[in-house]
Structure 1
Amino acid sequence: MKNFLKGFALAVSMMTSVPFFKVHDFNKGINGYAVLFYPLVGFLLGLILYGVYSLLEGHLPDLHLGIIIFALWVILTGALHLDGFSDTIDGLFVSKERALEVMKDPNTGGMGMTFTVTFLILKASSLAVFDDFYLLPVVLLLSRFNVVLAIYIFPYISKGGMGTLAKEELKSSQVFTALMYITILSISTLGLFLLSLVVLFLIKTFFVRRYGGFTGDIYGFSIEVTELVLLNAILLGIVV
């Protein structure tokens, strides 16, 4: 139970900007539990976003309220996944041999910055015209479950760090537990679940072919891309 709770605290610490849980101690035995809780943390973040939307709905213009939810979304996640998105893009504009080195560089390159700004505009625009805010918890849930699957199934090619510990400690029973609560929380949105898996498959196909596996930055890239695809699938009425 102690590792269970520490794993949850680490998941909150890693996946949000909430200061109370800033533990960042990757003690042996808790990293697999932390990964187990990634989707649940996403679901809770989504509930916060939907709660704020519900409180402000009718008091602000819809466009402005959508942008507020977008801004809060970025703030609550600490732009962690956006950083991974930006670094991943930078790695795509150099040779395979230099890509991992470029992705580790703390400085954002020109292409990473350009694509990230463009991506943020698309995400903000999606939320500005979004109506089904009650689905945000599921969107954040499923995007982070993709990372659970990526950690468990696909090769991790970076050396050291949280990713290596998570890969080593994540057990099949923990993935199964995550799948169980994912199924319960998203049971009425099977279409979104299946679409999120398609997105993961496409991302996996590209990056395993290019690099041979995933990195922490690509995990963040996967979350951001999955979120944007699911938001627009809902907007277009493709899936629910």
Structure 2
Amino acid sequence: MTAIQDFIDDTARSVAFLSRVPVPQRHFIGHDGRLSRAVRAFPLAGVLIVLPAAALAAVLSAFHAPPALLAFATLALQVLVTGALHEDGLSDSADGIGGGRDRESALVIMKDSRVGSYGVVALVLSFGLRAAAIAALATVLTPSALGMALLAVAAASRTAMVWHWSLLPPARRDGVAASVGEPERGATTFALISGALIAALLLLPHGTVLAFALALAAAIIAVLTFDRIAMRKIGGHTGDTIGATQQLAEMSVLFALALAL
């Protein structure tokens, strides 16, 4: 029972960290604010966070809403629930990595609350690619299958965050990511396995093994490519690059599914 309660607490803490969803304070009693173990629940937390948007997509699909309208409404609700947390990370990472002359200038730019041209372009591409992919999926999947596919993407993209976080050292010692601790090895392994299983269980009944394999490959390539860029430009991860990883993985997986299904 203790292990189950610990996982419930980790899930609640992960939901609170990854979204603007209010979480009961009882899950934080005696908690020191570190997420080293709680990252194991990121895949499940992603599913819970995206559940309202996935339900909306399914309902709109059932009522034969225009695919583009369905896609943007789904993304709008998703952003409301997350508080655009991951989009902010993508924008800041694009500005810093794209506009920084060196490591220090890149990190300074990433801390700046203003949005530059690289950040704007990244956000336009993120919303455009995701909306186009969701609209494409809405034309080939049943309403329930569409909702399940979006939940699978949610699990996969939050798993990608943990992987990125665990592979790279902190780029700055006083950042948000560093302050909440490094992912434990066991928690990372649990997140990677559970994330893949959750995505498979949600996607395979409505798709194909090939589609799942392509989506998995797309996520892996996106994370590893971004890891190389982040390591070369800023020397590790930050809270912004962790959020950017979620966006890149979500874009990649949706793109692959739209092509394969």
TM-score of the alignment, normalized to the shorter chain, above 0.5: yes
Return the alpha-carbon distance in structure 1 between the equivalents of residues 33 and 68 of structure 2. 45
Normalised TM-score (structure 1) = 0.86
User: What is the aligned counterpart of 1:17 among 16, 20, 27?
Assistant: 20
How many Å apart are 1:181 and its aligned residue?
1.8
Q: Which position in structure 1 is the counterpart of 2:110?
A: 103
Q: Which position in structure 2 is the counterpart of 1:68?
A: 73
Structure 2 vs 1, CA of residues 24 and 78 (structure 1 numbering), >3 Å: closer, same or farther?
A: farther
CA deviations 1:13-72 (Å, max 9, x no partner) are 111121345889994375123322112111223433332222232323333222211211
Matched residue count: 237
Conservation of the 8 A alpha-carbon contact between 2:134 and 2:258: no
Return the alpha-carbon distance in structure 2 between the equivalents of residues 20 and 81 of structure 1. 19
Conservation of the 8 A alpha-carbon contact between 1:32 and 1:166: yes
Conservation of the 8 A alpha-carbon contact between 2:219 and 2:253: yes
Q: Which position in structure 2 is the counterpart of 1:53?
A: 57
Structure 2 vs 1, CA of residues 111 and 43 (structure 1 numbering), >3 Å: closer, same or farther?
A: same
Normalised TM-score (structure 2) = 0.80
User: What is the aligned counterpart of 2:83 among 78, 86, 111?
Assistant: 78
**Superposition pairs of residues 1-240 of structure 1, within 5 angstroms:** 1=2, 4-20=7-23, 27-28=31-32, 30-59=34-63, 60-91=65-96, 92-96=98-102, 97-131=104-138, 132=141, 133=146, 134-168=148-182, 170-187=183-200, 188=204, 189-237=212-260
How many Å apart are 1:151 and its aligned residue?
1.7
How many Å apart are 1:191 and its aligned residue?
3.3
Return the alpha-carbon distance in structure 2 between the equivalents of residues 139 and 29 of structure 1. 27
Q: Calculate the aligned-residue CA RMSD, in Å.
A: 2.6
Conservation of the 8 A alpha-carbon contact between 1:38 and 1:148: yes
The residue type equivalent to 1:32 in the other structure is S
Return the alpha-carbon distance in structure 2 between the equivalents of residues 29 and 88 of structure 1. 24
Where do 5+ consecutive residues of structure 2 fail to align? Answer: 205-211
Where do 5+ consecutive residues of structure 1 fail to align? Answer: none
Structure 2 vs 1, CA of residues 129 and 184 (structure 1 numbering), >3 Å: closer, same or farther?
A: closer
* 152-161 vs 26-35, which moves further: 26-35
